[in-house]
Structure 1
C-alpha cells in the first residue's frame, strides 16, 4: 500500500499559481512521496510512553529526502506539543552547544530559574534590599541534570523533548556517545525524550561499527531510497491537483517515468514541467517531454558532478567500463574491459557500492545505483555539454 503525506501549501494562500514543486535540497515538498507510513509511525511513537520508535536513525543517499524527513518529524513533534532542539555537526563541541541551548531554554521556561533573597535591611525595617539569584549561572551543572530538568518541564507542559541531528556521520563518536548516554538515562527515568538523526548510508554504517554507538544500533532504522514510479506519478498528479491547474494522465506518467522514483527528481521534473507549461491551465505531455534533457543536466550538475569529482582514477575506470551496457553489467565483462582479474575488480566493486554509485543486480551483476549516472559519465567523456549547459533553456508554452 502506498502512503502519501500532504502538507499545507502556505504560499498558495497568497498566490495559488505559484509553482507547488520544491526541488531544492532540504526543502519540504507539498507531498512526501511514499513516506506517509514512516511519519505515521513516528507520530504514534510520540503518543506512546516509552516507545523505542521515538529514537530514529535515517540514512540514504543524497537527494533521497533525509533532511526533508527530519523537517517533517520536527513539524509533527511541534504539532504534538513537543520541544525540539536541533544540534549542528559544524559546532566545535556538540556537547557544549547542547549545554548552552538547554541553559537558554531553562532560563526562559523554568519557573525556578531565578529566585530572590533578602540581603539587607534598615534598622527601622522600612528599607530592605534583595538579590536576584540566577540558578543557571556560575557553577556549571552536569549536562545530564540539565537535560533531566528540561525534559521534566516539557513533560509537565504536556509534551516531551526531541533532540535532532543531521549529517550524523560527521559527529565525533565520543561526544555522540555522551549525549546518547544521557538520552538513555532519561528513558530509564520515564521522561518523554526522543532522538532523531540522519546521515548518508555509508557514513552511518561506519559510525555504527564504533564500539560506543550501541544506542544508535538499537534505534528504529529508516533507510530512504527511490520510491516506486507509480508513487512518483501519483505525487506529481496530486501536487498539481491541489492548485488551479491540472495535468493530463499521460503527462503525469511521463513525468513519473523521467523521475525514476528518485525523490529529488520527482520535485525537479514537476517544477520544470510546471514552468514549461507557461500560463496554460493544463500541463500537457509535450510540456514534460521538452524538459527531459534539462532535468538530466540539472541532475548531473547537482548530484553526479560532486560525486564523480573526487573519485580515484581506478573507480572512474570501473564506472566507465559499465557505460557500454544498456542494463546491468557482468563483473566478468568489467574486469576484462579494465584489463584486470575478476578478483581484483571486486575490490573496486565493493568500494563503489560503499560510495552508493553502484549496487548488486544479481549473481555476478552490478548496475548504477542512481538515475542518469550513465548519462553523467557519457557527458563527462564528451566534455560536459550537459553539465555546463545554460540553466534557463526552457521556452514556456503560452495559451493560443
Structure 2
C-alpha cells in the first residue's frame, strides 16, 4: 500500500460512494435502461428518504451511468426558477457539448438558431418555447441511441415550489406522450413527494416507480465498510469493524463519515484498528448531530417537535398512549402527527401501539437538547429574566 493512501470513503455531499450499499438491484435495473431503452416502469421514479440516507449519491450514480451510455443529463434541484434554469442554461449547455453530427440533426427541427459552424446561438422564437418541445428535440437528435435523464433533488412541500414542479412535470409528461425517450427521477422526503403527487398535472407521477431509502442492514453495513477499505488496500480489524458498524447504525452518511475518520487517523497503517474506530466514533457523532440531526429536527413544525420530545423520554420504543399523556392532547390529535411522522420517515411503528425513532441518534440529541434548555432556563439561554432596556427617545 502506498504511504498515506487517500481515503476511499466519500462523506462529502452528493459524492458517489465507492461501494454502494443497498438498492443495488434497483440501481442495476435503472442502469440497464440506459443501454437498452427498454423502460418498462422506469419512465418516472420517486426516491424518498431522510437526509443522509444516500438519495443524492444515488442520483449522482445514475447520472454518471447515463452519461457513460451516451445519454443527455439534466440535473437540478427543486428550488425556485427550475424551469428557466433548465431551458435557458442547462439545455443550451448540453447542445454546445454535443458532437457536430448530433447538433446538425437539430438544425432540421427549427427550434434553435445555429451559426454556420453549427454552434448554438439562440432559441428560435416564432412560437413560445416550451420544455416539452426542447425535450422531444433533444431525444430526437440522439437518433435512437440514447435518451434524456432528468433528476430533480430536494423536492420541497412549499406551495410555490410545488406549483412550479407540477408545471415542470406536466411538460415532461407531454414530452413522453410525444415519444421522447426520458427517465425523470424526483428525490426528497416522502411527505414532500406525496404533496407533489397531490398537485395538479402530476397524474403520470402517481404511476411512478417508488424507491424508499432506509438504513442498511447490519450485514450490508459491514460489507460496505470492508469492501470500501479494501479498495484502498487496507483491512479492518474485527473489533474495529464491530465498533464502526455499531456506530453507523446502517445510516449511509455515517458509514462514509466514520470510515473516513477512521481511515485518516493513521492512513499509513495496513489496517484500521480499534483505536482508529474509537477516534472516528467521537468525531462522527459530533459531526452528524451538527450537520444532519439538528437540521432534521429544526425542519419540523412545533407540534412535530413536541411529539418527538415526548418520545425522547424513553430510551427505546415509546407507547403511543404515553405520548398522548405527555403532550396533554387527545388520542386522535396524536394519531394525526404519528401518521405524518411515519410517512415522513422520522419514526416507525414497532409492535402494536408503539413507535421508535428511525434516525439514529435523534432521540439522544433531543434528550441532550431538552436537558440543556432546562439547565439554561429555556431556549433563550435564560435571557428572558433580563429583558433589554428601552432605548432613550
Q: TM-score, normalised by structure 1?
A: 0.79
1:169 partner SS: coil
Note the residue ranges of structure 2 that are not aligned, 5 or more in a row. Answer: 108-112, 376-393
Match of 1:251 in 2: 240
CA drift of 1:342 comes to: 3.4
Match of 1:154 in 2: 142
* Over 6 Å off, 4+ runs: 132-135
* 8 Å Cα contact 2:73-2:150 kept in structure 1: yes
Instruction: Measure the CA separation in 2 of the matches of 1:229 and 1:370.
Output: 15
Tell me: higher relative CO, structure 1 or 2? Use CA pairs within 8 A at least 6 residues apart.
2
Of 360, 372, 392, the residue aligned with 2:349 is 360
Residue by residue, what CA displacement relative to the aligned partner does 1:293-337 show, whole Å, maximum 9, x if unpaired? 332222211112112235555544432332342321111222233
2:341 partner SS: helix
Of 275, 284, 294, the residue aligned with 1:295 is 284
Of 96, 105, 123, the residue aligned with 2:84 is 96
1:366 partner SS: strand
Instruction: Measure the CA separation in 1 of the matches of 2:261 and 2:278.
Output: 10
* 8 Å Cα contact 2:310-2:326 kept in structure 1: yes
CA drift of 1:65 comes to: 0.9
CA drift of 1:141 comes to: 4.9
* 8 Å Cα contact 1:155-1:192 kept in structure 2: no
CA drift of 1:212 comes to: 2.0
Match of 2:296 in 1: 307
In terms of fraction of residues, the more helix-rich structure is 2
2:352 corresponds to 1:375? no
2:152 corresponds to 1:136? no
Instruction: Measure the CA separation in 2 of the matches of 1:169 and 1:318.
Output: 22
1:367 partner SS: strand
Match of 1:4 in 2: none
Match of 2:380 in 1: none
Residue by residue, what CA displacement relative to the aligned partner does 1:157-180 show, whole Å, maximum 9, x if unpaired? x22222221123367444434443
Of 176, 200, 205, the residue aligned with 2:165 is 176
2:176 corresponds to 1:199? no
Instruction: Measure the CA separation in 2 of the matches of 1:309 and 1:21.
Output: 28
Higher-Rg member (1/2): 1
CA drift of 1:91 comes to: 4.3
1:291 partner SS: helix
Of 8, 12, 18, the residue aligned with 1:24 is 12
Report how many residues are paired. 356
After superposition, residues 218-367 of structure 1 pair within 5 angstroms as 218-277=207-266, 279-311=268-300, 314-367=303-356
**Please, which moves more after superposition, 252-261 or 224-233?**
252-261
Of 68, 71, 78, the residue aligned with 1:79 is 68
Residues 313, 220 of structure 1: CA spacing in aligned structure 2 closer, same or farther, 3 A cutoff?
A: closer
* 8 Å Cα contact 1:91-1:97 kept in structure 2: no
| RMSD, matched Cα | 3.0
